[in-house]
A = this chain, B = another copy of it.
Amino acid sequence: MNVVPPTSASLIAPLAGVLPSGGLLTAEEDLARYSRDWSGDHFGRPLAVARPASVEEMSALMRRCHEEHIPVVPQGGLTGLVGAAVAADNGEVVISLERLNKVRSINPIDFAIVVEAGCILEDAKRAAEDNDCLLPITFGAQGSCRIGGNVATNAGGFNVLRYGMTRDLVLGLEVVLADGRVWNGLKVLRKDNRGYDLKQVFIGSEGTLGIVTAAALKLYPRPTHIETALIGLRSVEDAMTLYARARRDCSDLLSAFELILRRGIEITLQARPDFADPLSRAYPVYVLVEVSAGGLVDLSAMLGDFLAGATDLVEDGVIASSRAQGERLWLYREIMVERQGRGGRYLRTDVSVPISKLAHFVADTLAVLEEARPDALAVTYGHVGDGNIHLNVVPPLGMGPEAVEQLFEDAEAHIFAVVDRYGGSISAEHGIGRVKQKAFLERIDPVALDLAAGIKEAFDPRHILSNGRILAPKSVIDYR
């Protein structure tokens, strides 16, 4: 049978009139900014961009898409790193959450905020601060990413150690389902054991099971004291020993424990000549330690005593004497992250292993990489209190694009093989999307795959939502 492939225009024709004027963008020049993600690594031209401005509009839109089998991909701030929110080229309608961006309510006695999915994380964090509270999700992209994306990817970041992943902060969700029905699971209850906890299914599902339109999130008391230290150490082993002690000495007040190898500090020094080497000389390994508390705890004494008791491990260190100095210490890490690729592409990995194995894992992986691809520049840093390492690979200057692709493929295969040996995860916080899908599907237990496919089938039987993210793409439309 010969089927004539439909044009983009015919595919999206059924959407005409579903949203008020301005709700559906189709002009080429309007589509551009919804087509490329923050990293610049992923591009996909959408069939159209739908921008519902209310839950009712979102519901009507999805009802029509479901009726007409129109594939969609929900999109937040496009800061994800696994290509989940960019459209399949000319194959999907982007559903932008940007117009659903209000803070619906905040209550400091409940320690809870209700925000719409399109709200930028930093705006939600500011609303919390204005109420003397803390919304703990914290990472580099917080000025661009949106709450819906944080929920859909179960975002991590610097403070997971203390406050958990985004999942741990979600009290309730409002979700528009694949068929347009609205599941209203918004609530600010701290404890609720009424049957299956449906929100858990949507969190981290990367847009494949429903479109989160709003979230109720836990807040914490805003810390009134924050102490930051940058410490020089002899080895990753020593860093992990120091972590084990910090975990006990600082009770549950440790809010960050970030590892940076010397090369990372050098990247910052090269990028920013106004930054001095932070300690008296160079050390192989650095950790950035933060403790924070509100109220009546004397933090500076605690941090001082902790470091004074660790002179067998700590070679040198600086404790920030002011909040500004503390923020400057963090810049050594942030600038490194921004500049690690020297403006070009680089391979990102985001792996985790049991904490007790992390030092050995880093040593093994770096040795394997050095052996296999001595031309690659490895940049290693991460949230080691969570066992999470970003072991990134920068190509040598001047390498051609095909050779770079091959380098990335080789390096990733080598890194993931070590992860497998250590019983680790190939995606600690970034998710799977499309970028990690092949590696994910190669490793997934068939029983787990069956269960996941069963959930997908129950929640999105026509496979119109983010088809091909996490799970393999399903050909659901005859003509595709």
Contact = CB atoms under 8 A, between A and B. Distances in A.
A195 B355 CA distance: 21
Given A252-B220, A458-B458, A431 B193 contact: yes
Nearest to A382: B191
Contacts of A221: 247-248, 251-252
Interface of A: 107, 109-112, 153-154, 156, 160, 162, 164-165, 167-168, 177, 181-185, 187-198, 200-201, 203-205, 209, 220-221, 223, 240, 244, 247-253, 293-298, 301-302, 305-306, 352-356, 383, 385-388, 423-432, 440, 444-445, 447-448, 451-452, 454-455, 457-459, 470-471
A302 B388 CA distance: 34
Contacts of A440: 194-195
A191 B165 contact: yes
Most buried by B among A197, A385, A432: A197
Contacts of A448: 183, 185, 195, 198
Contact of A423 (B187, B191, B240, B302): B187
A253 B297 contact: yes
A352 B189 contact: yes
B427 A192 contact: yes
27 contacts: A109-B355, A110-B387, A154-B193, A156-B191, A165-B191, A165-B193, A182-B447, A184-B447, A185-B448, A188-B354, A191-B352, A191-B387, A191-B425, A192-B352, A192-B427, A193-B425, A194-B425, A194-B426, A194-B427, A194-B444, A195-B452, A201-B201, A251-B253, A295-B306, A451-B458, A454-B459, A455-B458
A356 B189 contact: no
Contacts of A298: 298
Contacts of A248: 221, 294-295
A197 B110 contact: no
A83 to B, nearest CB: 14
Given A194-B427, A431-B193, A448-B198, A295 B183 contact: no
A196 B296 contact: no
Nearest to A305: B296
A59 B280 CA distance: 61
B306 A424 contact: no
Contact of A251 (B297, B429, B471): B297
A428 to B, nearest CB: 4
B109 A244 contact: yes
B247 A470 contact: no
A469 to B, nearest CB: 9
A250 B296 contact: yes
A225 B441 CA distance: 47
Nearest to A191: B428
Contacts of A471: 195
Contacts of A223: 251
